[in-house]
């Protein structure tokens, strides 16, 4: 008997009726709320206010840990700071060299394919956001970030880290936003296998280290080690962003579907900072259009088939070119259409990464 003070034996049905009656009242109220929340958008405003109201509490709960981190950081030794500085410098140089090459490749690609407009859509603006160290729901993969609508964050916006796709924003409050990670069981991300261009959907498996690809037929060309990139369908992420690497392929002769698992590139369990990305609207594959602060998904003018398959197309042209001198004179014929096609797109394309900011 764990210490209950004995209450007087007065009847419970005082003010407000009997417990049963009151419960019925509250039950109806809750069910009403649920129906409103589920069926109508009226409560979007309530979610916004709730995000605003809960943010200070969430901040307060996570503050001891944040304070601990801060003290650790401020007592960091000169050596470790220097080492980190050096490491970051190296990385920056690395990335700069790589992005130089990227610009060149993007131009080359655009020239080859002759589709200047299909330059990979480039982020027009990005904003680092900190993950507030707090548990929202233990079994769902959600995190809270410290940026909200005052920073221009929209619902359904892409969130990346420096390794790959992290997720997208869900409920946005004034100072904070809830992000659903790609590993959440409710999150489905349209992806393409980089090697083959095969498109499928990656669904979260519920833990932070794996994605499932449940819709691949047993005869699909997929192997462990394949890289998954965003396919650009679905209207949140533009094509070509790295998502995950296939770790496990299990094909059973009896089962019509293959059992495929992949490990996300983004460090979902250890990230403390992520990037919010706004994409250019004028790019062909730009998925998002802004309207009254809300996003309407998809660009109506783009037919789904028009999503550029840049990687396979470029490879195909490259693969044909070196073959030409090897073969006989006759076999060079099919190459011909490719060459004038490539030279036709003479006007130099604008380097992609320089848009905005």
Partner 1 sequence: MLKTVVGALVLTLLPLPSWLEVIRPGFLALTVLYWSIAAPRAGGIALGWGCGLLLDAFEGPVLGEHALALALLAYLAVREHQRIRSKPAFQQSLIVFAALVIYEFVLFAIDGWSGHALTTPLRWLPTFTGALVWPAAAAILARSYRAQT
Among 5, 305, 329, 330, binds partner 1 (CB under 8 A): 5
Phi then psi dihedrals of residue 163, to 5 deg: -110, -25
Task: Report CA-CA distances (Å) from 1 to 4, 5, 8, 9.
Answer: 7, 10, 18, 18
CB of 135: closest distance to partner 1 in angstroms?
Answer: 5
Residue 63 binds partner 1, judged by CB under 8 A? no
Residue 267 binds partner 1, judged by CB under 8 A? no
Task: Report CA-CA distances (Å) from 320 to 24, 286, 314, 315, 334.
Answer: 73, 30, 10, 8, 9
Residue 305 binds partner 1, judged by CB under 8 A? no
Residue 45 binds partner 1, judged by CB under 8 A? no
Asked if residues 59 and 132 have their Cβ atoms less than 8 Å apart, the reply is: yes
Q: Name the token pair of 275.
A: 């990037």
Residue 115 binds partner 1, judged by CB under 8 A? no
Residue 38 binds partner 1, judged by CB under 8 A? yes
Give the C-alpha separation, 53 to 49, whole Å: 6
Element (H or E) spanning 288, and its range?
strand 288-291
Residue 27 binds partner 1, judged by CB under 8 A? yes
Residue 43 binds partner 1, judged by CB under 8 A? yes
CB of 206: closest distance to partner 1 in angstroms?
Answer: 6
Residue 41 binds partner 1, judged by CB under 8 A? no
Residue nearer to partner 1 on the CB measure, 142 or 280? 142
Q: Which stretch binds partner 1 (CB under 8 A): 51-59, 161-169, 217-225, 252-260?
A: 51-59
- Burial class from Cβ neighbours inside 10 Å (0-12, 13-18, 19+) for residue 135 reads exposed
**In the range 328-357, which residues lie near partner 1 by CB under 8 A?**
none
Residue 140 binds partner 1, judged by CB under 8 A? yes
Query: Helix %, strand %, coil % for the chain, to 5?
Result: 35, 20, 40
Q: How far is CA 100 from the centre of its chain?
A: 25
Residue 29 binds partner 1, judged by CB under 8 A? yes
List residues near partner 1 by CB under 8 A.
Answer: 1-7, 10, 12, 14, 19-20, 22-23, 26-27, 29-34, 36-38, 43, 46-47, 50, 53-54, 57-58, 61-62, 65, 133-140, 142, 185-186, 206, 208, 269
């Amino acid at each position: 008997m764990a210490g209950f003070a004995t209450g007087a034996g007065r009847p419970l049905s005082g003010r407000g009726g009997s417990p049963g009656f009151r419960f019925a009242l509250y039950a109806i109220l809750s069910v009403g709320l649920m129906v409103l929340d589920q069926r109508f958008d009226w409560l979007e405003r309530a979610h916004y206010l709730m995000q605003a109201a809960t943010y200070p509490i969430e901040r307060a709960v996570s503050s001891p840990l944040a304070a601990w981190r801060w003290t650790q950081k401020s007592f960091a030794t000169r050596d470790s700071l220097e080492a980190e500085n050096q490491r970051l410098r190296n990385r920056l140089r690395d990335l700069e060299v790589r992005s130089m090459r990227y610009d060149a490749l993007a131009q080359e690609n655009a020239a080859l394919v002759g589709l200047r407009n299909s330059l990979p859509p480039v982020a027009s603006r990005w904003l680092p956001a900190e993950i507030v160290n707090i548990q929202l729901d233990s079994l769902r993969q959600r995190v809270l970030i410290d940026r909200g609508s005052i920073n221009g964050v929209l619902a359904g916006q892409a969130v990346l880290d420096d390794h790959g796709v992290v997720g997208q924003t869900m409920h946005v409050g004034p100072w904070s936003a809830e992000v659903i990670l790609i590993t959440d069981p409710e999150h489905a991300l349209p992806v393409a296998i980089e090697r083959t261009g095969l498109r499928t959907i990656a669904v979260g498996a519920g833990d932070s280290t794996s994605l499932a690809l449940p819709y691949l037929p047993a005869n699909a060309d997929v192997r462990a080690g394949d890289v998954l990139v965003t396919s650009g369908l679905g209207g949140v992420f533009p094509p070509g962003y790295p998502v995950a690497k296939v770790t496990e392929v299990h094909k059973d002769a009896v089962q019509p579907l293959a059992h495929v698992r992949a490990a996300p590139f983004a460090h979902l369990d250890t990230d403390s900072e992520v990037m919010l990305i706004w994409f250019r609207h004028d790019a062909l594959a730009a998925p998002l259009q802004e309207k009254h602060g809300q996003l309407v998904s998809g660009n109506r003018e783009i037919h789904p088939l028009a999503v550029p398959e840049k990687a396979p197309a470029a490879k195909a042209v490259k693969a044909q070119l070196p073959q030409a001198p090897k073969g006989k004179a006759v076999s060079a014929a099919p190459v011909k259409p490719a060459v004038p096609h490539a030279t036709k797109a003479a006007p130099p394309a604008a380097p992609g990464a320089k848009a905005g900011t």
